[in-house]
C-alpha cells in the first residue's frame, strides 16, 4: 500500500471517519460490497463493448445511474444515504425523503442475514456433495498453484527452442529430400538418354 494512503488512514483512525479493513487475498467473500460493485462495473463495460462504444466515457453516466438506483439491501439510493438528498438528474423528483438511519440499517442487516443464510446453505450442500464423492483413494487438488513467471518464461523459451530445432530438422529433411529427388531425376534423365542413344 502507498505510504501516503497509510498515513491518511492513520490520521483518520482517531476520529473514526475511516475504518481500515484488511482482507484475505483471493477470497472475494471477505469484501462483498466491492466485489458486487465490480460485477456491476464489469457488466457495464461488456455491454458497452458489445454495443461498439468506448467504455471509458460511459463510466460517469453509469455511476450517475448507479447512485440514483435504490439498492435491494437498503431500499434507498446511495446518494440519499451519503448526502441525504437525491442527485439531480433529467427526471423530475417530487418526493422528499428523510434519512431515517435506524430503519435503513435494520433493513440492511435483515437483507444481509438472509443472504448469509442462503450462501451458507449452498456452501454446506456443496461440501456434503464433495464429501460423499471423495473416497480414501481419491486424489484431491486443494488449491491451484499460481505459476512462477520466471519458470513460465523459461518453459516458453524451451518450447521455442524445441520448435526451432524441429523446424530446422524439417527444413534439413526437406532439403535432403529435394536433393535426393533432383539426383534421382538426373539419374533418370541420364538413363532415358542412354536408352534413346541405344535404340537409335
pLDDT 10s digits, 81-98: 888 887 877 776 666 555
Distance from C-alpha of 36 to C-alpha of 40, rounded to nearest angstrom: 7
What is residue 29's predicted lDDT score, i.e. its pLDDT? 75
Residue 41: pLDDT band (50, 70, 90) is very high
Residue 8: pLDDT band (50, 70, 90) is low
Residue 76: pLDDT band (50, 70, 90) is confident
Query: Domain residues of the chain, as ranges?
Result: 36-84, 156-193
* Burial of 80 per CB tally in 10 Å (0-12, 13-18, 19+): buried
The tens digit of pLDDT for each residue in 133-157 reads 666 556 666 665 666 667 777 777 7
Mutual angle of helices 59-67 and 32-50, in 10-degree steps: 130
DSSP class of residue 70 equals P
Mean pLDDT of the chain: 75
What is residue 68's predicted lDDT score, i.e. its pLDDT? 87
Q: Mean pLDDT throughout 2-7?
A: 69
Give 35's contacts (C-beta < 8 A, 6+ positions apart): 28, 29
What is residue 18's predicted lDDT score, i.e. its pLDDT? 60
Distance from C-alpha of 140 to C-alpha of 163, rounded to nearest angstrom: 34
Residue 162: pLDDT band (50, 70, 90) is confident
Is the confidence at residue 13, as pLDDT, over 60?
A: no
Report the C-alpha dihedral over residues 112, 113, 115, 120, rounded to 10 degrees: 140
Residue 47 in contact with residue 58, Cβ under 8 Å? no
Amino acid at each position: 500500500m502507498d505510504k501516503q494512503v497509510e498515513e491518511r488512514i492513520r490520521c483518520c483512525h482517531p476520529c473514526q471517519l475511516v475504518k481500515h479493513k484488511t482482507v484475505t487475498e483471493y477470497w472475494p467473500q471477505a469484501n462483498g460490497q466491492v466485489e458486487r460493485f465490480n460485477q456491476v462495473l464489469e457488466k457495464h463495460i461488456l455491454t458497452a463493448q458489445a454495443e461498439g462504444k468506448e467504455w471509458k466515457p460511459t463510466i460517469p453516466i453509469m455511476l450517475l445511474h448507479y447512485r440514483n438506483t435504490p439498492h435491494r439491501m437498503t431500499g434507498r439510493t446511495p446518494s440519499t444515504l451519503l448526502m441525504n438528498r437525491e442527485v439531480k438528474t433529467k427526471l423530475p423528483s417530487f418526493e422528499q425523503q428523510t434519512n431515517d438511519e435506524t430503519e435503513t440499517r435494520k433493513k440492511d442487516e435483515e437483507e444481509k442475514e438472509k443472504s448469509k443464510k442462503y450462501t451458507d446453505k449452498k456452501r454446506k450442500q456443496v461440501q456434503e456433495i464433495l464429501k460423499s464423492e471423495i473416497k480414501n483413494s481419491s486424489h484431491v487438488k486443494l488449491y491451484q498453484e499460481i505459476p512462477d513467471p520466471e519458470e513460465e518464461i523459461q518453459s516458453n523459451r524451451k518450447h521455442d527452442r524445441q520448435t526451432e530445432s524441429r523446424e530446422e530438422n524439417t527444413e534439413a529433411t526437406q532439403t535432403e529430400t529435394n536433393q535426393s529427388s533432383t539426383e534421382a531425376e538426373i539419374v533418370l534423365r541420364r538413363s532415358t538418354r542412354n536408352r534413346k542413344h541405344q535404340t537409335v
